[in-house]
Copies of this chain bind each other. A is one copy, B any other.
Amino acid sequence: MDGASRRQLARSLSTVENRSAGWREILAKSFAADGKALIVGVTGPPGGGKSTLIDALAAHWSGLGHQVAIIAIDPASPFSGGAVLGDRVRMRRSEDLDSVFIRSMSARGHAGGLNEAAFDLCTVLGGFGVTRILLETVGVGQNEVEVAFVADCTLVLSVPGLGDSVQAAKAGLMEVGDIYVVNKGDLAGASAVARDISNMLALVFAGVPGRNVGPADTSMLAAVPGPTRQRLGERYGDPSKPGGAWHPPVLTTTATDDKAVAAVVEAIEDCAGWMDESGQRALRNLDRVGIHLRNILQQRLLERMLAGAGSRLPFDELVKAIAERRIDPYGAADRLLDDANPD
């Protein structure tokens, strides 16, 4: 990507992110042009070395001829991320490459929500010919589980020394990881973390019909609710169907080890291949699109209701009444809906 296209891309992303004039046209055009970019979510605890690994993955893909984009989701500190935190320093390998485009994006301030904003930026990147998108999220929590719905394929990073594997289970990440990476593999305890994750995966999959991936303490199986087992079965495929099932691999890396980085890239490409063959990529996309459309509609309906009714609707008055406990929030919503649509 030369300087001019890079600048044009940056402008298009800003236009769409800020909903500036012309955003709908850019998005519609990109949407029609995109379709091949693989979106890889990378999540894990703070201090887990996500950025360094992402940097290495981007450089590796660039070497294979890909156009790569990195979207780092910055949870919107009052500081500009770069100035205080030196984000850029941590993308040393890839930041000067012509085929790598780096963008940070605030987790807050998107009227339509973070996922919608991330989804839109990925669409624009795909429309510009980007073929691999790395979506970095900070933290281990609900937010990350949700961002996983934007990605085609999700990498969950752990590091030794934090009780991470338990934390990952607690954060629900065992439900969304397609590939597990134990980073800082040279630290003591790395192999124990990898073993814990493998055991937990075995436990999770022991409950999934048609899957039996290893020894597990099945006495805990009762704790995995039926609907979850079904969802897991859906997410990771059916061994008896075309394309087969995916069993999330557990890899150990250090970001400076090129071979280990190549193995992670290979695992991602394998996963992408499986998703295409099994139809899983299309299924996940359908889920994602449904949620996206719902969110857009919800927002649009509220805007329309408030704008259409003008000052007739006592929204602010009702907020005050709730705060003063004269009416409860659901009662207030009833009032507004009745006023807006008296039928």
Contact = CB atoms under 8 A, between A and B. Distances in A.
Interface stretch (A80-88, A183-191, A249-257): A80-88
A332 B293 contact: yes
A interface majority secondary structure? helix
Given A80-B225, A323-B289, A46 B108 contact: no
B301 A305 contact: yes
Interface string A240-262: 00000000000000000000000
A179 interface: no
Given A77-B169, A333-B300, A328 B45 contact: no
A165 to B, nearest CB: 11
Contact of A169 (B35, B85, B203, B232): B85
Contacts of A45: 45-46
Nearest to A119: B329
A146 to B, nearest CB: 8
A140 B337 CA distance: 37
A91 interface: no
Given A138-B171, A298-B302, A329 B47 contact: no
Interface stretch (A1-9, A52-60, A95-103, A314-322): A314-322
Contacts of A166: 84-85
Interface size class of A (residues with CB under 8 A): 35 or more
Contacts of A138: 140-141, 167, 170-171
B328 A79 contact: no
**Residue in A84, A138, A170 with the greatest tally of chain B CB atoms within 10 Å:** A170
Contact of A137 (B107, B141, B172): B141
**Residue in A163, A282, A299, A323 with the greatest tally of chain B CB atoms within 10 Å:** A323
A21 interface: no
Contact of A328 (B31, B83, B171): B31
B162 A46 contact: yes
Contact of A224 (B79, B139, B175, B301): B79
Contacts of A302: 294, 297-298, 301
A328 B32 contact: yes
A145 interface: yes
B329 A220 contact: no
A142 interface: yes
Contacts of A162: 46-47
Contacts of A152: none
Interface string A273-317: 000000000100110011011101111111011000000000100
B297 A170 contact: no
Interface string A108-145: 10000010000000010000000000000111111111
